[in-house]
Structure 1
Amino acid sequence: MTPAHDTQAAPEPAPDEGRGRAAAALAETVGAVLAHTADATGPRTPADTAEIRAIADAMIRLFTGAPLRSGGQLTIKSLAEEAGLRRNKLTHKHTGLKDLFYALVKAQQGPSRPFTDKEREVSEKQKKDLARVRAERDTLRTKAQQMARVIHVLEAEYAQLAQAKAALDEELAARAGVTYLSTRRGT
């Protein structure tokens, strides 16, 4: 074998993976700068510096896809869980880091690509199918409402006929001098 055959080409990272690593590297750099700035400015406590480092480390873990304490979603809630902090630390105290996180998430997602002709055709077909199914549903709903009204009218007519029959049976029984005994057939 020649040396060219011995070397293996490194697999190219997927585009999303490359963006995630770039976002993680940026988060690491910004986190280190912010932590160093927090150390240098003085009024902050060592706890603030530790929180900043924890948030930056959590960002790195989330963007590289290796969360330790959270589900790995790119949300502020997951970032706070991953950093071991309460969410309000990010939303009220470290708003700059929160904004950085949102910007990195948005940058990682990248621009949306335009639809291909085939995707556009499929979308149009699905829209037409949806419109057809909705029209069919509306037609069936209207027919069901009409049937319900017809059933209601028939029930009312049946009740009137049953009352008229009962009145006629009573009148017939009174004329014949016979007491009417109702039968137990489906009355």
Structure 2
Amino acid sequence: MSPALDERDRIRAAMERILQGTPQHSNGALTIVALAEEAGVPRNALTQRHPDLKNDFYMQVKARGQLPDSEIRLRKQVVKLKELRAKDATELAQLRTDVEYLVRAVNQLSVENRQLRGALSQPGTTVRALPTQAQPNGSL
């Protein structure tokens, strides 16, 4: 399929409408997708047949001090990911601390268990049942 003769003119007109904030056929986003939609051309018309117009569009957006919508979206995502990473780092530090405490508790219980087993294996050791505490609902 060959490009329409007026394709470049339609792209230029669409660029002006989007940059002026008066889009007629798109959402007016500062993206190639919106530009192609506004011009009524496939996106690859800008990326393959008319990359000079695509580059010109991005240069005009940048010259106006505006960020393309895709960059704005990516910047927001970067901020969100940094927040998640900080939260994960805090949680990971807490988990590492918890693991250290649990390892200490397991080691202490292992030592006590070994001592009790050693005491039980001695001749003449008397085993006594410890009194149990009654639960408020009457169960043990």
Q: 1:166 to 1:91 in 2, by over 3 A?
A: same
1:162 to 102, 108, 113: 113
- Alpha carbons of structure 1 residues 62 and 168: separation in structure 2 relative to 1, 3 Å: same
**In the TM superposition, what whole-angstrom CA distance separates every residue of 1:10-67 from its partner, at most 9, and x where no partner exists?**
xxxxxxxxxxxxxxxxxxxxxxxxxxxxxxxxxxx7x432312321221122012122
2:23 is the alignment partner of 1:67: yes
Superposed displacement of residue 99, structure 1: 2.6
Partner of 1:66, secondary structure, is coil
Which one-letter code corresponds to 1:51 in the other structure? Answer: E
* Partner SS, residue 77 of structure 1: helix
Which residue matches 1:77?
33
Q: Which residue of 2 aligns with 1:97?
A: 53
Matched residues in 2 for 1:152 and 1:145: separation? 11
Inter-partner Cα distance in structure 1 for 2:40 and 2:19: 17
> Which amino acid letter does the alignment assign opposite residue 104 of structure 2?
V
* 1:48 match: secondary structure: coil
Look up the match of 2:7: 51
Aligned residues between the structures: 107
User: What is the CA distance between 1:150 and its match in structure 2?
Assistant: 4.4
Distance (whole Å) between structure 2 residues aligned to residue 144 and residue 107 of structure 1: 49
State the partner residue of 1:175: 124
Deviations 1:143-175 (A, max 9, x none): 975664344123212122123213423x36x63
Q: Which amino acid aligns with 2:124?
A: R
Report the aligned-residue RMSD: 3.6
Deviation at residue 182 of structure 1 after TM alignment: 7.5
Q: Quick check: 1:109 aligned with 2:60?
A: no
Normalising to structure 2: TM-score of the pair?
0.55
**Whole-angstrom distance in 2 between the partners of 1:50 and 1:78:** 18
Q: 1:89 to 1:182 in 2, by over 3 A?
A: farther
